[in-house]
Amino acid sequence: MIARDQYLRDVAQSSGRRTALVVSKALQDARNDENKLEDEVVAAFNSLGFDASRDGRKGKADGIARADLSADANGIPRHYSVTLEAKSKKRDGTVVSAATIDVAVIAKHRDEYQSEHAIVVGPSFATTHGDKATIAKLIDKDRELTKANGTPKTITLMTVDDLARLVRLAPIKGVGLSKLRELFKSCRLPEECKAWVNAIEASRPKKQPYKEVIDTIHQLQKKYKRAAVGYDALRVALGVRTPPIDYDTNEGLIDLCKAMMEMAQGYITATTSTVELDQSPVNVFAAIESATKSEAWRSN
């Protein structure tokens, strides 16, 4: 298992793409490097399924992450975006002080991007007093003001370690973009984020049909000369299997394929419109099986 995991990491790195496990480790390693942490926070959100990019301009947010979700069954838009702020510390064990986190500036960045949410990621924060902490009061005030204005928005503080843990857990726990929005809505402080990630870690999602989906993608690629497979075609093909595997919409199928890509980078590529295998079904499934069983994916 160890040899297989190392081989999969080597494949991912040589292909220029990184698995969620590699992204998670790189994020933790960047905690003391300002520029690198900004890059790795953006990479973490890309790994989680967002369309994320770094800004880099002076006086702007460090990055922006967009969740390109379709409208719901009633036509109500569900897409949202999150501005990204990274706060590194040169020495381990040093907290990001409340004075370093200017809530007014973070809210300004969030509004400039017309985002609903903002997240600040750092090694640790001065929030041991909970709701009585100065930063907690400022964040609560921002939430109250935006709600009163009819456009509720949020600011969330999260530690590097908990974001890294979430990156590792998301593929194997089936945490999609809709579920992730709950984090921004319900969590303000790092302690709340930690509890939210703990709940994800303790969850027992239903077994996913990885093998069946991989086999069906392979069959469609063979039939259509190994072209990338559209989700509409994949959903129909899964529905006529024996027994059938039914998806009411493409969203759950897209989340599953993107999760498989994070566990087997270099072997499978999933976009918002297509999915394709670049390895035999046996090897793709072996990579995913290795990821789901590896203790490294479940470690804190």
Domains of the chain, start order: 31-202 (3.40.91.70), 210-298 (1.10.10)
Per-residue model confidence (pLDDT) at position 129:
66
Banded pLDDT at 76 (limits 50, 70, 90): confident
Q: What is the mean pLDDT of residues 93-115?
A: 86
pLDDT at 32 over 70: yes
- Say if CB 250 and CB 269 are below 8 A apart: no
Burial letters 47-62, b for 16+ CB under 10 A, else e: bbbbebebbeeeeebb
pLDDT at 103 over 80: yes
- Between 253 and 97, the higher pLDDT residue: 253
Q: What is the mean pLDDT of residues 271-276?
A: 90
- Between 13 and 274, the higher pLDDT residue: 274
How buried is residue 185: exposed, middle or buried, by Cβ count under 10 Å (0-12/13-18/19+)? middle
Report residue 214 CA to chain centroid gap: 22
Q: What is the mean pLDDT of residues 59-76?
A: 84
200 token code pair = 């994800």
Per-residue model confidence (pLDDT) at position 72:
72
Which of 3-12, 196-205, 219-228 is predicted most confidently? 196-205
Per-residue model confidence (pLDDT) at position 226:
62
pLDDT at 297 over 50: no
- Say if CB 103 and CB 134 are below 8 A apart: no
Per-residue model confidence (pLDDT) at position 100:
80
pLDDT at 292 over 80: no
Distances (CA, A) of 144 to 105, 129, 182, 192: 17, 20, 18, 18
> Residues of the chain with pLDDT > 90: what percent?
57
- Say if CB 55 and CB 65 are below 8 A apart: no
Per-residue model confidence (pLDDT) at position 93:
63
Question: What confidence tens digit (pLDDT) does each residue in 129-188 have?
Answer: 677 778 889 999 999 999 999 999 999 999 999 999 999 999 889 898 999 999 999 999
Burial letters 3-34, b for 16+ CB under 10 A, else e: eebeebbebbeeeebbbbbbbbbbbbebbeee
274 token code pair = 């297509």
pLDDT at 7 over 60: no
Q: What is the mean pLDDT of residues 243-257?
A: 90
Banded pLDDT at 51 (limits 50, 70, 90): very high
Banded pLDDT at 295 (limits 50, 70, 90): very low
pLDDT at 61 over 80: yes
When the pLDDT of each residue in the chain is averaged and rounded to a whole number, the result is: 86
